[in-house]
C-alpha cells in the first residue's frame, strides 16, 4: 500500500470515527492531526521518496488534513447546537402562562350614583352646575343660610351646624347656594331655569353608621311660569324609578323646610308595587325632601314670585347608595377599603 493509499484510508477512518455517536472530538483531533498523529506518522515516511513522489504525497496529505479539520469544525458545531438545544429544553419558560395583570381602578360607588343621577337629569333638559366658580364649597353665610330663608336667629340653623372659617365664611351645609347664583345669572326671556347642583357638603355631625361630617348632595331647581306640585311629583317619580326600578312608587308627606312652601318628605317603596299590591303591604322609606320654592327665596334671588313659581328638591347620593346596595354603614364609603369598593366594579352591581 502506497503512502497515498494510507492517507486516503486515514481520511475514511477519521470520518467514521467522527460519525460515531458521542465522539470525543479532541481525542479524534489528537489521534489524526496531533504531532504523533496518523497523518504526521505517514508523512514522516516520505524521506525515502523521490522529489516528485514527495510532492504528490504532500499534496494528498494536506488535502486529508484539511478535510479532517473541516469535518471536526462541522461536528463541533453540531454538538454545540445539540447541547444548547438540550439546555434550552431543560430551562424553557412557558410564555403562554398568564402574566400578572395590573389592577385597574374604577369609579367610586358614590361617583357612579352621582353620574347616574346627572345623566338622568341631563336627559330631562337640566343643566349640571358643579364648577368651582359657581359651586364653591367654602361659602358665605348669606348664600348658605340667609338666601335660603334662614336668618341668623332662625332655630332651623341648629340642624345644619357647620364648620366656620370666620363668622361670615363657612363650609357649605347644602348645595342650595348654587341655585341662588344660577338665578341671579339666568335670563328668563330664554326660558325656564332647570338645574341640578351636585357636590360635597359639610355639617358638624358625629360620625356613625348613618351620619358623616362630610357627605354628598344633589339639589334640583326648576323655575318658570306655572310650575306646580304635579311637576315636582312627576320629576321625583322619574328619578326614583331610574335608580330603584320602574316598579317602585313614591309618596309625598307634608313637612316643613324654611326654603319651601308647601314642603314634603318623599318616601320610596322598599318593595316593588304592582296592580295587585295592597296599600298596607307597601313598605316605605324616606329618601329626600322637596317642595315648592318659598316666595321669600325667589325674592332674595331677584325673581318675582307673582310671575314665576318653582320647585326644589335635595337628595343624598350617599343615602341612595346605602339603600340601593344594602350598605349599613356610611363610613364604608370613605375608608378606602378596596375589598369593599371592588364590589361595585360595574355600574348597577
Q: d(Cα 6, Cα 56) in Å, to the nearest integer?
A: 13
Contacts of 200 (CB under 8 A, 6+ apart): 137, 214, 215, 216, 217
Strands 169-171 and 164-166: antiparallel
Alpha helices in the chain (DSSP H): 3-19, 25-33, 38-43, 51-90, 109-123, 141-144, 176-185, 229-244, 295-300, 317-325, 338-341
All three cell numbers of 28: 479524534
All three cell numbers of 86: 438540550
| Adjacent-strand bridge partners of 111 | none
Q: Count Cβ neighbours within 10 Å for each residue of 148-176 and write b for 16 or more, e otherwise.
A: bbbeeeeeebeebebeeeeeeebbbbbbb
Q: How many CB atoms lie within 10 A of CB 56?
A: 16
Q: d(Cα 218, Cα 341) in Å, to the nearest integer?
A: 22
**If you write DSSP's letter for every residue of 153-165 in order, what string do you get?**
T-GGGGGG---EE
261 marked among binding-site residues: yes
Annotated binding site: 261
Binding-site residue positions for Mg(2+): 261
Amino acid at each position: 500500500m502506497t503512502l497515498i493509499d494510507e492517507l486516503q484510508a486515514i481520511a475514511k477512518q477519521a470520518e467514521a470515527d467522527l460519525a460515531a455517536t458521542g465522539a470525543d472530538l479532541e481525542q479524534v483531533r489528537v489521534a489524526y492531526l496531533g504531532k504523533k498523529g496518523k497523518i504526521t506518522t505517514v508523512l514522516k515516511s516520505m524521506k525515502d521518496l523521490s522529489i516528485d513522489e514527495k510532492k504528490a504525497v504532500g499534496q494528498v496529505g494536506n488535502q486529508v488534513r484539511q478535510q479532517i479539520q473541516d469535518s471536526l469544525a462541522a461536528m463541533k458545531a453540531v454538538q454545540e447546537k445539540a447541547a444548547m438545544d438540550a439546555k434550552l429544553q431543560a430551562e424553557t419558560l412557558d410564555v403562554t402562562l398568564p402574566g400578572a395583570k395590573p389592577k385597574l381602578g374604577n369609579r367610586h360607588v358614590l361617583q357612579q350614583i352621582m353620574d347616574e343621577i346627572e345623566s338622568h337629569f341631563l336627559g330631562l333638559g337640566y343643566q349640571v352646575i358643579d364648577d368651582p366658580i359657581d359651586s364653591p364649597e367654602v361659602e358665605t353665610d348669606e348664600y348658605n343660610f340667609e338666601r335660603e330663608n334662614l336668618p341668623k336667629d332662625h332655630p332651623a340653623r341648629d340642624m345644619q351646624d357647620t364648620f366656620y372659617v370666620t363668622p361670615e365664611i363657612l363650609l357649605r351645609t347644602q348645595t342650595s347656594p348654587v341655585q341662588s347664583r344660577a338665578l341671579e345669572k339666568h335670563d328668563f326671556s330664554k326660558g325656564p331655569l332647570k338645574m341640578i347642583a351636585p357636590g360635597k357638603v359639610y355639617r358638624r355631625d358625629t360620625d356613625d353608621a348613618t351620619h358623616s361630617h362630610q357627605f354628598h348632595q344633589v339639589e334640583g331647581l326648576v323655575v318658570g311660569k306655572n310650575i306646580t306640585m304635579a311637576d315636582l311629583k312627576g320629576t321625583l317619580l322619574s328619578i326614583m324609578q331610574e335608580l330603584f326600578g320602574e316598579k317602585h312608587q313614591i309618596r309625598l308627606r307634608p313637612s316643613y323646610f324654611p326654603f319651601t312652601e308647601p314642603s314634603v318628605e318623599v318616601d320610596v317603596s322598599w318593595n316593588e308595587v304592582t296592580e295587585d299590591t295592597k296599600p298596607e303591604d307597601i313598605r316605605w322609606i324616606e329618601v329626600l325632601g322637596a317642595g315648592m320654592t318659598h316666595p321669600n327665596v325667589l325674592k332674595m334671588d331677584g325673581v318675582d314670585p307673582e310671575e314665576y313659581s318653582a320647585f326644589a328638591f335635595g337628595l343624598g347620593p350617599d343615602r341612595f347608595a346605602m339603600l340601593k346596595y344594602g350598605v349599613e354603614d356610611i363610613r364604608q364609603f370613605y375608608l378606602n377599603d378596596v375589598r369593599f369598593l371592588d364590589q361595585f366594579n360595574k355600574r348597577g352591581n
